[in-house]
């Protein structure tokens, strides 16, 4: 792999010698790579292999040049060193960060995953006032097959020439996604637009002026004079007694010109655009053909804590999904994710306590490798107390680039030298497992940049996870209450972003300043990674080195990932329904004895056991048990076995059988011998029944 760096006409300080020490492949330094030194770039891409270019400003130009030169390079990657490092008040001290960013760029691309396909033939539905819809349709008619759904005539009224099909009525619902939208509407207006000739006779004849140029009657103003029917005459387009019925039609794209959206959700489906902006009109032209996107999630139903035994437990993923792509399927006892609606935010994987939903592109292990590469290279290059800044690949990148340019102009400080930006598809896709891994591997702090593109439920869900981390690290003695190692960085503009970065990242020391830096690798399983991070933190926790070390840490209930189950022994009958409901193997029975057993480290606090228990004898308690007992089996409840009155073999618990006898003793079907058989095991019960039948036959 060849790496090309450029100081952009000597506007940033680069240290090629130090940077080269942390790369295993050749590095060349340039001053005007995109202009007079572009030959070096062309030579690199013609030579084959992989090429990393430390410039995103001219990424488009470099891509075009590679195409013209018929480049042999298998991969061309671009990384921004200028706005993220060089263009800053601390640009001369940013070499460790630059080395880290270059090292991360050398990592292999994420493994491929299954894709989701969208097919669009260009059937566009425009919803809105008729005059606006017709104006927009005229701009797109050369590319798209257009149908309009009139929502009033608009200020200018409708055109007389029927250029496009027009639907009208009451919009019942719109659902679907790119290439698969279904419009359902009710034809509850007396005028049939298919028959109407736009002669305007009804408009002129209506004494109440209840008919607009969208040729729909405002029934609230109509006094039933029926002058319009007479004026329509032989055309017969107006019929007040027409049966009201729902109709539906399929479309590939939707442009909604109304003020209110057809979808009451934060993340709108692909192919649905609001407002006739130039950007949207250009976008619609491009949305014809076949398109693929990664399937961002992977689902393991076996460990899902959503539903068991017709009971609902955890539904964190359903609640947080801003695209309404996740729904509960009670019949299958699981959740279902619609991959066409999924926008890849990853919030569902972040709040999933069991790891049943995982982010697939990139995988957690791939993100973990990137984290360890960034932090490890930064440390080896001489950097101290790195702050990891997670931001989106869209608006987040724009904000950081704006900050770098502002710093170059002297109106901002820019990114501090120890703040390492890490772009992700969406900031909600990384959660507790990766945050704790980053802190254990040397990060002083993890900041999550919000850009006001996040759904409100994302902020609530991730804040709950941040509160879990805070309670954990405070309880273990790593941080004080006034230091939040994982927190939001909220900024409305560049000035606020600059000020917040200076405030939040100043004077922060990494958790591992007095303990070894962790070397574990992030695994594919969320719970496995959490256990690795916890093991490292527990091994070096300051609070556990004191004489007053607690046995357990209390954790917030919202978003809890660890905890125990409290059992009311007086109510529990040891029916073991909770054991069959537990998706994590935390609750267990004992085949040899009537015992309810528990492994605390397995518990995901989903609540399925609580909701399943017929006696309401269970209660969750979020906490982190600090001793080795976390991984050991312990007995929550036990009772004496009940022996068969005929053969003596245990077949249930004393408490459960006595409770059954008490409840059924007054029932007419369980009197005399029938009640006595309830005290027998299954085999003896059958023998007793047949013995009784034989006695009756002999009599």
Interacting residues of 390 by C-beta distance below 8 A, sequence separation 6+:
422, 424, 427, 430, 446, 447, 448, 449
pLDDT at 74: 83
pLDDT at 662: 83
pLDDT at 182: 98
Q: Do residues 636 and 565 lie in contact, with contact meaning Cβ atoms separated by under 8 Å? A: yes
Residue predicted with more confidence, 100 or 512: 100
- What does the pLDDT average to over 507-513? 74
d(CA 400, CA 427): 15
pLDDT at 205: 94
Taking phi over 0 as left and psi of -120 to 50 as alpha, with beta for the rest, 542 belongs to alpha
If one counts every other C-beta atom within 10 angstroms of the C-beta of residue 287, the result is 20
End-to-end CA distance of the chain: 98
Which sequence spans correspond to the domains of the chain? 295-359, 364-545, 562-638, 641-698
Same fold, 295-359 and 562-638: yes
State whether residue 74 is helix, strand or coil.
Answer: strand
Count of CA atoms in the C-beta half-sphere (13 A) of 534: 23
Count of CA atoms in the C-beta half-sphere (13 A) of 444: 19
pLDDT at 159: 63
pLDDT band at 640 (very low <50, low <70, confident <90, very high): confident
Evaluate if residue 699 carries a pLDDT over 60: no
d(CA 371, CA 536): 17
From the list 87, 88, 86, 64, the residue with the least C-alpha distance to 76 is 64
d(CA 693, CA 245): 65
SS (H, E, C) 146-188: EEEEECCCCCCCCCCCCCCCEEECEEEEEECCCCCEEEEEECC
pLDDT band at 698 (very low <50, low <70, confident <90, very high): very low
State whether residue 501 is helix, strand or coil.
Answer: helix
- What does the pLDDT average to over 274-297? 96
563-567 and 246-251 strand pairing: unpaired
The pLDDT tens digits of the residues spanning 27-57 come to: 999 999 999 999 999 999 999 889 999 999 9
**Whether CATH 3.30.70.3270 fits 562-638:** yes
d(CA 245, CA 343): 34
The pLDDT tens digits of the residues spanning 331-367 come to: 899 999 999 999 999 999 999 999 999 999 999 999 9
pLDDT band at 592 (very low <50, low <70, confident <90, very high): confident
d(CA 350, CA 412): 34
What is the 8-class DSSP label of residue 212?
Answer: -
Count of CA atoms in the C-beta half-sphere (13 A) of 319: 14
Task: Tell me which fold the domain 295-359 belongs to.
Answer: Alpha-Beta Plaits (3.30.70)
């Amino acid at each position: 792999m060849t790496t090309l760096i450029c100081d952009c006409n000597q506007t940033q300080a680069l240290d090629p010698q130090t940077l080269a020490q942390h790369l295993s492949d050749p590095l060349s330094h340039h001053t005007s790579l995109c202009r007079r030194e572009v030959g070096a770039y062309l030579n690199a891409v013609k030579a084959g292999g992989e090429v990393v270019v430390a410039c995103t400003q001219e990424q488009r130009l470099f891509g075009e040049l590679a195409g013209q030169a018929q480049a042999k390079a298998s991969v061309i990657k671009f990384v921004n060193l200028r706005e993220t490092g060089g263009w800053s008040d601390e640009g001369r001290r940013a070499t460790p960060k630059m080395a880290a960013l270059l090292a991360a760029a050398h990592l292999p691309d994420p493994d491929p995953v299954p894709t989701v396909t969208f097919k669009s033939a260009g059937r566009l539905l425009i919803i809105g006032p008729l005059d606006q819809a017709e104006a927009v349709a005229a701009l797109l008619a050369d590319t798209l097959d257009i149908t309009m759904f009139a929502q009033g005539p608009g200020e200018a009224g409708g055109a007389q020439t029927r250029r496009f099909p027009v639907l009208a009525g009451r919009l019942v619902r719109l659902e679907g996604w790119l290439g698969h939208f279904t419009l359902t509407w009710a034809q509850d207006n007396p005028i049939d637009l298919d028959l109407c000739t736009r002669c305007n006779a009804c408009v002129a004849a209506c004494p109440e002026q209840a008919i607009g140029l969208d040729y729909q009657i405002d029934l609230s103003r109509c006094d039933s004079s029926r002058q319009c029917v007479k004026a329509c005459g032989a055309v017969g387009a107006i019929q007040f007694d027409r049966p009201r019925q729902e109709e539906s039609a399929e479309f590939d794209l939707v442009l909604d010109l109304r003020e209110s959206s057809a979808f009451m959700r934060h993340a709108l489906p692909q192919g649905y655009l609001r407002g006739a902006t130039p950007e949207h009109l250009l976008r619609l032209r491009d949305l014809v053909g076949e398109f693929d996107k990664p399937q961002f999630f992977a689902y393991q139903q076996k460990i899902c804590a959503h539903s068991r035994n017709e009971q609902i437990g955890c539904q964190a993923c359903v609640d947080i999904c801003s695209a309404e792509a996740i729904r509960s399927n009670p019949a299958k006892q699981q959740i279902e994710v619609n991959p066409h609606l999924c926008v890849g935010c990853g919030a569902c994987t972040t709040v999933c306590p069991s790891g049943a939903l995982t982010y697939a592109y990139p995988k957690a292990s791939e993100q973990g490798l990137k984290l360890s590469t960034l932090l490890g290279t930064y440390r080896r290059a001489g950097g101290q107390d790195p702050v990891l800044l997670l931001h989106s690949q869209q608006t987040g990148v724009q904000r950081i680039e704006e900050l770098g340019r502002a710093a170059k102009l002297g109106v901002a400080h820019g990114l501090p030298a120890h703040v390492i930006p890490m772009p992700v598809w969406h900031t909600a896709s990384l959660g507790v497992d990766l945050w704790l891994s980053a802190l254990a591997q040397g990060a002083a702090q993890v900041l999550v940049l919000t850009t006001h593109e996040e759904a409100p439920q994302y902020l609530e869900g991730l804040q709950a996870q941040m509160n879990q981390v805070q309670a954990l690290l405070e309880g273990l003695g790593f941080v004080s209450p006034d230091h939040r190692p994982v927190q939001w960085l909220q900024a409305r503009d560049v000035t606020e972003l600059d000020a917040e970065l200076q405030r939040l990242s100043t004077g922060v020391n990494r958790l591992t300043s007095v303990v070894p830096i962790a070397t574990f690798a992030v695994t594919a399983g969320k719970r496995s990674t959490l256990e690795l991070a916890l093991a490292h933190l527990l091994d070096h926790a300051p609070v556990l080195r004191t004489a007053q070390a607690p046995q357990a840490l209390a954790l917030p209930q919202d978003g809890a990932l660890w905890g125990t189950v409290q059992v009311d022994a007086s109510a529990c009958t040891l029916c073991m329904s909770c054991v069959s409901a537990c998706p994590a193997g935390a609750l267990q029975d004992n085949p040899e004895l009537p015992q309810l057993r528990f492994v605390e480290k397995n518990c995901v606090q989903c609540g399925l056991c609580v909701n399943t228990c017929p006696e309401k004898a269970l209660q969750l308690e979020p906490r982190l048990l600090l001793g080795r007992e976390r991984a050991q089996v312990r007995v929550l409840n036990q009772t004496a076995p009940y022996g068969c009155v005929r053969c003596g073999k245990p077949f249930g618990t004393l408490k459960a059988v006595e409770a059954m006898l008490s409840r059924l003793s007054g029932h007419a079907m369980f009197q005399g011998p029938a009640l006595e058989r309830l005290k027998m095991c299954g085999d003896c019960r059958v023998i007793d029944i047949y013995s009784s039948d034989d006695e009756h036959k002999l009599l």
